[in-house]
Amino acid sequence: MSFIDDIKLRYKNGNIVEKLIYVNIAVFIFTLLISVFQDLYKGQINWVVEWFSLDDNFSTLLYKPWTLLTYGFLHADFLHILLNLVTLYFIGNLFIEYFTQKQLLTFYLLGTFFGGLLFMVSLNYFPLFQGQSSMLVGASAGISAIFIGITTYIPNYQLKVRFIGFVKLWHFAAIWVGLDILALSGGNAGGHFAHLGGALFGFLYVKKAANKEIKLWDQLSSIFSVKKKPLKTVYKSPKKTTNSVKKTSLNQQQIDHILDKISKSGYDTLTKAEKEFLFKQGRK
């Protein structure tokens, strides 16, 4: 099997996190090759960056509206993409333990979109930052949406850090957001506003999911949910229906108890019986 065939197979069999990583790497390599080619022929700015990065001027959206999303797949240099993709790998895989893969893609794309909007608004309408002309690239806004979204859902989930011990997820998220807030005083304020825009989206998105009065979550998630075909009833038995309802209610109570335990202490604190029960319920 050739190297290209191996990459294709890995992409095909990978989850959404791995596919996003492969796409970002492919775009980065392609952009790098274009830069090298243009340098050899004394070209100007890389046309990939020019047409797919996000400009701070609202008028550019009239002829490049796609840049509100495509900038999230471009990166400035190797260190930039390395840090983003390492974070995406660990946080993204934690995210899909509690949400679907399609929901992760939703967080990534909409976090990128709203991060881009806040980037443009901040540089055009916030007095302290007006005049900082720049172009935005990077997946950080989408990753921030995923990071803060899963943290909002399981804030007390604990991660084991070598030499430190167990640290709650919300502590990492607080540091993540805090660094962006502190960096607003620097020269890349627009970029950090984009990160905060993605983070704000992730927080509100999950918060709205817990609020039955707000329908935005239902409207968005319904786009990505798989509709089950209605079951055709052949025979009804009142006695069996009662037993089924009671069993379903007990199972749901146990599932709720286990999920609450995971959110407070982490998956590793479950007993063997609880893990087996959760696994069996997941296969139904």
pLDDT digits (tens, 9 = 90+) for 134-169: 789 999 999 999 999 999 999 999 998 888 889 999
Lowest mean pLDDT among 145-149, 204-208, 255-259, 260-264: 260-264
Looking at the structure, do residues 261 and 143 belong to the same domain, yes or no? no
Looking at residue 233, its pLDDT comes to 42
264 against 124, higher pLDDT:
124
Closest among 187, 169, 111, 101 to 143, alpha carbons compared: 111
The answer to whether residue 246 sits within a structural domain is: yes
Per-residue pLDDT averaged across 241-269, rounded? 67
Domain of 259 in residue numbering reads as 241-282
Looking at the structure, do residues 36 and 130 belong to the same domain, yes or no? yes
Q: What integer best gives the mean pLDDT of the chain?
A: 82
The answer to whether residue 19 sits within a structural domain is: yes
Looking at the structure, do residues 74 and 214 belong to the same domain, yes or no? yes
Lowest mean pLDDT among 92-101, 105-114, 123-132: 123-132
Answer whether residue 44 shows pLDDT above 90.
Answer: no
The answer to whether residue 153 sits within a structural domain is: yes
Looking at the structure, do residues 270 and 212 belong to the same domain, yes or no? no
Looking at the structure, do residues 150 and 10 belong to the same domain, yes or no? yes
Looking at the structure, do residues 44 and 90 belong to the same domain, yes or no? yes
Task: Please check whether residue 149 is in contact with residue 95, taking contact to mean a CB–CB distance below 8 angstroms.
Answer: yes
Cα 73 from Cα 176, distance rounded (Å): 20
The answer to whether residue 236 sits within a structural domain is: no
Cα 141 from Cα 202, distance rounded (Å): 10
Query: Considering just the CA atoms, what is the radius of gyration of the chain in Å?
Result: 23
Looking at the structure, do residues 202 and 245 belong to the same domain, yes or no? no
Domains of the chain: total:
2
Looking at residue 262, its pLDDT comes to 75
Mapped onto helix, strand or coil, the DSSP state of residue 168 is strand
Looking at the structure, do residues 218 and 260 belong to the same domain, yes or no? no
The answer to whether residue 123 sits within a structural domain is: yes
Q: State which of 182, 198, 224 marks the end of a domain.
A: 224
User: The pTM is what?
Assistant: 0.72
The answer to whether residue 277 sits within a structural domain is: yes
Token pair for residue 14? 């990978």
Token pair for residue 175? 């540091």
Answer whether residue 216 shows pLDDT above 60.
Answer: no
Mapped onto helix, strand or coil, the DSSP state of residue 5 is helix
Looking at residue 139, its pLDDT comes to 95
The answer to whether residue 233 sits within a structural domain is: no
Cα 137 from Cα 147, distance rounded (Å): 19
Looking at the structure, do residues 266 and 218 belong to the same domain, yes or no? no
Residue-wise pLDDT for 195-208, tens only, equals 999 999 999 999 87
The answer to whether residue 234 sits within a structural domain is: no
